[in-house]
Amino acid sequence: MRPSRVGFGVLLHLVFSIGSSVVRGDYHWPSPFIDTLEGLLYEGKQEGLPDRAVDFVAQLLRCEPRVNNESIAADWIRFAYHDMATHNIDDGTGGLDNSITMELDRDESKFDFIDFPNKYLSYSDTTAMGVVLATVECGGPVIAYRGGRIDAKFPGPPGVPVPEQSAEDFIETFRKQGFTKEEMIALVACGHTLGGVRNPDFPTLVPPGDIEFENNIKLFDGTPQFDNTIVTSYLDGTTENLLVVGANGNTTLTSDLRVFGSDGNVTMKSLADPDHFAATCASLLGRMIDTVPRNVTLTDFIHPLPVKVAGVQLAPGNEDHLALNLTLRLSNNARQVTLHWADRDSESCSSGACSAAPINSTLVSTRLLQALGLSPVKYTFSTPIANTSVSKFWFEVDGKIENNGGSGYVIEQDRILFAPDRGAFGLLLKIVAAVRNDSTPSAVWMDTYQRDGVSTVERHPPVNLTLDESLPAAAGYNFYSASIPGSDLTLDLFAEIDGKVYEEEFRDTHFMA
């Protein structure tokens, strides 16, 4: 089985009018890569993981300062730009590829990273998503998102400009990154609407904090929100941006002043209109995170799925039956939703009782969905079925059939299943697989993928699972297990039965404790 409020009108049109999307007309379940990205982007959680999973937005992308006064949202945007800054438009190298994590001797390598990447989600895709979510969390525009970035294996060349550079040097630096002079001005303004000048970076401009762990920070525009105050305060002469006004008569570091005024303030005056500022930032920040090496192809824009099936799992219960667990997310609330399924190796239900109602429904509400004017509802199903298993399932929604474009939601195999309720999760992980006992497997094993810190996800050698006699058979399944050290693993289960290999793909142990 492969389960597998600025310028809103302008921005909504922008997001839904650029190109076609693989998750609209061309999408077909299962699509583990797109499902993973779409789930994390719009729900803040990984595809198929339980509700107790770490919330990407609530825990990691709040629009508020850290304990050391640094802006969380600004850090994500700054990190992404500094990573992208290695791009060279002349030869197509560099870009947003996570090479920054290997460039620890450079000023731009101040970063804050998390452990969401896995088999499908690269570190650089996570960084790009962080920019989208951080921007909208702070009241900024919706940035269209693509996936498919590939993490680099080696550091890239220096690319981030330094404040002492001349306007001409800034223009050339941004040209190599793929931006015109006018785009450079706007991108700097968009980036500096959040965050500020920090003492660790500019000790001659900003004094240290009052306590040891505090970084004293002077905000660029005096507000923590994504708005165009950075522009209007510059134009009316009230700005306190130290990269414009300097400190103690020192103008060496007034890089924003040189950048903003490099075209006689023409661009800055155009950005005084809040709708134009928002639309411009949505476009330029989108281009920034889409700047990748020439040999990398990104997906089409990932829009919210109108129908999203996730968390599909057949699981042996403690009695003589299987349980079918899944969630269904619909773009709008429905009056009546029913799950239907067919027997294994059949197109129909022999008992005539293969249907179930959801056990609950919840409103899915994230800042990104709110900004798009969407209020999807997620329905949770967990229903016992006969141990004859199922071949496929579908839904009836207010009298209309939803069946995955006509094919139904096919359960590709039930020979090997993941059994997390019989495992143990801690420093030593006990992984349990349920294998149908109507035949004997010649081998049961798992492939594991582990995050190596902040740079790559590595595939490890296979690990064999053996019959676990401490776990009694249930629902027509025997249980095989292996204990392995480590944490934050993504794993795939395999069983070879009668010369054929069956796979249960993509389970992430980080969220199964």
pLDDT at position 326, please?
Answer: 94
More confident position, 494 or 456: 494
Dump the DSSP string for 262-287.
TTTTHHHHHTTSHHHHHHHHHHHHHH
Q: Shortest CA distance to 45 belongs to which of 372, 285, 36? A: 36
Fold of 61-289: Peroxidase; domain 2 (1.10.420)
In the predicted model, what is the mean pLDDT of residues 321-334?
Answer: 92
Radius of gyration of the CA atoms of the chain, in A: 26
How many other C-beta atoms can be found within 10 angstroms of the C-beta atom of residue 48? 24
pLDDT at position 211, please?
Answer: 53
In CATH, what number does 416-511 get? 2.60.40.2440
Residue 463: pLDDT above 50? Answer: yes
Question: Which structure tokens are listed for 421?
Answer: 């309720």
138 contacts 227 by C-beta, under 8 angstroms: no
| Most confident of the following: 102-111, 161-170, 467-476 | 467-476
In this structure, of 149-153, 190-194, 453-457, 492-496, the range with the lowest mean pLDDT score is 453-457
In the predicted model, what is the mean pLDDT of residues 431-437?
Answer: 95
Entry pTM: 0.88
More confident position, 345 or 499: 499
E strands, 369-499, in order? 377-385, 390-397, 400-402, 409-410, 416-418, 428-436, 443-451, 457-459, 463-464, 466-467, 477-485, 489-497
How many other C-beta atoms can be found within 10 angstroms of the C-beta atom of residue 243? 23
Task: Name the CA dihedral angle for 342, 343, 346, 352, rounded to a multiple of 10 degrees.
Answer: -70
Q: Is 35 left (phi over 0), alpha (psi -120 to 50) or beta?
A: alpha
Number of H helices, E strands in the chain: 13, 20
Q: Per-residue confidence at 291, pLDDT binned at 50, 70, 90?
A: very high
Non-local CB neighbours of 308 within 8 Å, separated by 6+ positions: 35, 38, 39, 328, 329, 376
| Most confident of the following: 37-51, 147-161, 394-408, 487-501 | 394-408
pLDDT, tens digit (0-9, with 9 covering 90-100), for 191-214: 999 998 887 778 888 887 665 545
pLDDT at position 425, please?
Answer: 75
pLDDT, tens digit (0-9, with 9 covering 90-100), for 485-509: 876 678 899 999 999 999 998 776 5
Q: Per-residue confidence at 460, pLDDT binned at 50, 70, 90?
A: confident
Give me the residues paired with residue 154 across strands: none
Q: Per-residue confidence at 243, pLDDT binned at 50, 70, 90?
A: very high
pLDDT at position 214, please?
Answer: 54
In the predicted model, what is the mean pLDDT of residues 395-412?
Answer: 95
How many other C-beta atoms can be found within 10 angstroms of the C-beta atom of residue 114? 16
Residue 294: pLDDT above 50? Answer: yes
pLDDT at position 71, please?
Answer: 80
Task: Please tell me the distance from the alpha carbon of residue 285 to that of residue 274, in angstroms, as a whole number.
Answer: 16
Would you kindly state where each structural domain of the chain is located, as residue ranges? 61-289, 307-410, 416-511
146 contacts 301 by C-beta, under 8 angstroms: yes
165 contacts 118 by C-beta, under 8 angstroms: no
pLDDT at position 492, please?
Answer: 92
pLDDT at position 508, please?
Answer: 65
Q: Per-residue confidence at 411, pLDDT binned at 50, 70, 90?
A: very high
pLDDT at position 254, please?
Answer: 93
Task: Please tell me the distance from the alpha carbon of residue 492 to that of residue 389, in angstroms, as a whole number.
Answer: 21
CB-hemisphere CA count at 13 Å for 214? 10
Residue 226: pLDDT above 70? Answer: yes
pLDDT at position 23, please?
Answer: 42
pLDDT at position 67, please?
Answer: 61
In the predicted model, what is the mean pLDDT of residues 260-283?
Answer: 98
- With tokens 């190596």, the residue in question is 452
C-alpha 119, offset from chain centre: 13
pLDDT at position 53, please?
Answer: 44
- State the amino acid at position 39 in one-letter form: G
Q: pLDDT > 90: what percent of the chain?
A: 59
Task: Name the CA dihedral angle for 189, 194, 195, 196, rounded to a multiple of 10 degrees.
Answer: 40
More confident position, 223 or 436: 436
Q: Shortest CA distance to 78 belongs to which of 187, 241, 230, 214? A: 187
Residue 513: pLDDT above 50? Answer: no
In the predicted model, what is the mean pLDDT of residues 347-370?
Answer: 92
For residue 221, CA distances in Å to 158, 224, 263, 326, 403 come to 28, 8, 21, 46, 51
More confident position, 340 or 162: 340
Q: pLDDT > 70: what percent of the chain?
A: 84
For residue 244, CA distances in Å to 38, 247, 415 come to 40, 9, 65
pLDDT at position 509, please?
Answer: 59
pLDDT at position 55, please?
Answer: 56
pLDDT at position 297, please?
Answer: 96
Task: Name the CA dihedral angle for 383, 384, 387, 390, rounded to a multiple of 10 degrees.
Answer: -20
Beta strands 443-451 and 428-436 are unpaired
Task: Please tell me the distance from the alpha carbon of residue 54 to that of residue 11, in angstroms, as a whole number.
Answer: 29
Q: Per-residue confidence at 59, pLDDT binned at 50, 70, 90?
A: low
Task: Please tell me the distance from the alpha carbon of residue 474 to that of residue 417, in angstroms, as a whole number.
Answer: 12
197 contacts 245 by C-beta, under 8 angstroms: no
Across all residues in the chain, what is the average pLDDT? Answer: 85
Tell me if 307-410 shares its fold with 416-511.
yes
Residue 105: pLDDT above 90? Answer: no
In the predicted model, what is the mean pLDDT of residues 33-37?
Answer: 92
The answer to whether domain 307-410 has CATH 2.60.40 is: yes
How many other C-beta atoms can be found within 10 angstroms of the C-beta atom of residue 55? 14
pLDDT, tens digit (0-9, with 9 covering 90-100), for 8-23: 233 333 333 333 334 4
- State the amino acid at position 320 in one-letter form: D
pLDDT at position 318, please?
Answer: 77
